[in-house]
Amino acid sequence: MKKYIIILFISLFSFAQQTPAPKQSKSILIIGGIAHIGNGQIIQNSIISLVDGKINLIGNAEVIKPSKHDLIIEANGKHIYPGFIAPNSTLGLVEIDAVRASDDESEIGEFNPHIRSLIAYNTESVLVETTRPNGVLLAQITPRGGRISGTSSVVQLDAWNWEDAVLKNDEGIHLNWPKSYVRKGWWAEPGGIEANKNYGKQIEEIEQFFTNAFAYLKSSGEKKDIPYEAMKGIDSHKKTLYIHADGEKEILDAIQFKRKFNLQNVTIIGGFYAYKVADELKKENISVLLRRIHDLPLLEDEDVNLPYKNAKTLVDKGILVGLENAGDMERMQTRNLPFYAGTCAAWGLNRETALQLITSNTAKILGIDENYGTLESGKSATLFISEGDALDMKTNNITHAFIDGRQISLESHHTELYERYKEKYQRK
């Protein structure tokens, strides 16, 4: 029996990540494609030059006469997009839920700002390569568990190791706001909802931790406290505090918490009922990474289409909104991120505005918009070419993808199986 278990375990991990692409050495010119800039603009007949990992120029092919390039890609009728960004992701932290040795998404303890998800990120994860054929080229690797889960970092999804992958190191700390209610029973036999009697106490514990941490950072004591040390950057507004909350009361209390501690960079993650307090969020300049769009409402008597409409409601209120994918099977579902944006477009958002939910908006929230999120001269050449609309699962078919100018592989175990069985049925 042990022999079979070992064989199964080896087989599960036998599919290694594709070899990362080498640094861009040849200049590349993409001509004739429909360029979706990522800021709401479109260039119908575009020309894009990629040199040394950067977008050297971008514009109308009828106006710009480029210099000679080493490689020319004809993209007539195809669509060009900036690389999509998956925030609040555990991609690369868990390979198989049932195999404990492959699960590194959370640590024991309640207040763990010093836990760095980056060093646990596994670039060899086979799940990482399944995201790239749908245009997801960047991700914010985020820990789970506890009251403060730890620190997230932003990576690109074609690397040898986490040192190669990192784009922005330890950029934010994640606080799981307590719920004002608790659910009784379990999913098969729900027992209703009742008030969380410990809600006030749990908030006091959060406030006490922040008070102690900020006092520690202002002191000159010789004794080092690692969790408090990790809070450095939140007090000086250099790091973002990501507050995970869905309820109206919870979000309002989180806003009050922001005011109390004079926090500048705050983002709500989840935010299902953020639309109810949108004016307060706008006033405090708080952005929202909206929970998974392809989901049911939180309460039985709510509009079943509410998750689809949420993004438009917040955007119309002037909130900076991005899309995240936490939840059941979240790592496998990362590849569906562009189709969440497509659903938002189907439910009221302009298509280019919906595109911003997974490109420029998310880049701004994560603080990487100087180099990523849009197709602009001087920015990273992180983009892809699709034969159809990348937000539509029927037409999205990526032919080329680049990360920092490096043309990456679009193969995965999925594509290998597709080609294998396509050949089988072609024999008949």
Beta carbons within 8 Å of 423's beta carbon, 6+ residues apart:
none
Q: Give the pLDDT means over successive 10-residue stretches in the chain (428 positions).
A: 44 60 95 97 96 96 89 96 97 84 84 95 92 96 96 97 96 97 74 87 97 92 88 93 97 98 97 96 98 90 93 97 93 94 96 98 98 98 98 95 96 83 82
Question: Out of 3.40.47.10, 3.40.190.10, 3.20.20.140, 3.90.1150.10, which CATH number does the structure's domain 85-372 have?
Answer: 3.20.20.140
Query: Tell me, what's the pLDDT at 14?
Result: 47
Beta carbons within 8 Å of 143's beta carbon, 6+ residues apart:
90, 93, 105, 106, 107, 112, 115, 117, 120, 149, 150, 151, 152, 174
Amino acid identity for residue 298 in this structure: L
Interatomic CA distance for residues 245 and 177, integer angstroms? 6
Interatomic CA distance for residues 142 and 181, integer angstroms? 25
CB 354 within 8 A of CB 300: no
pTM score, whole prediction: 0.92
Interatomic CA distance for residues 390 and 34, integer angstroms? 12
Query: What residues does 28 pair with on adjacent strands?
Result: 50, 71
| Domain map (residue ranges) of the chain | 18-83+373-428, 85-372
Domain at 18-83+373-428: CATH architecture: Roll (2.30)
Pairing relationship of beta strands 84-89 and 136-141 according to DSSP bridges:
parallel
Phi-psi region of 145 (alpha: psi -120 to 50; beta: other; left: phi over 0): left
Nearest Cα residue to 234 out of 210, 212, 253: 210
Query: What residues does 42 pair with on adjacent strands?
Result: 36
Nearest Cα residue to 311 out of 268, 347, 266: 347
Nearest Cα residue to 372 out of 162, 84, 134: 84
Interatomic CA distance for residues 382 and 155, integer angstroms? 12
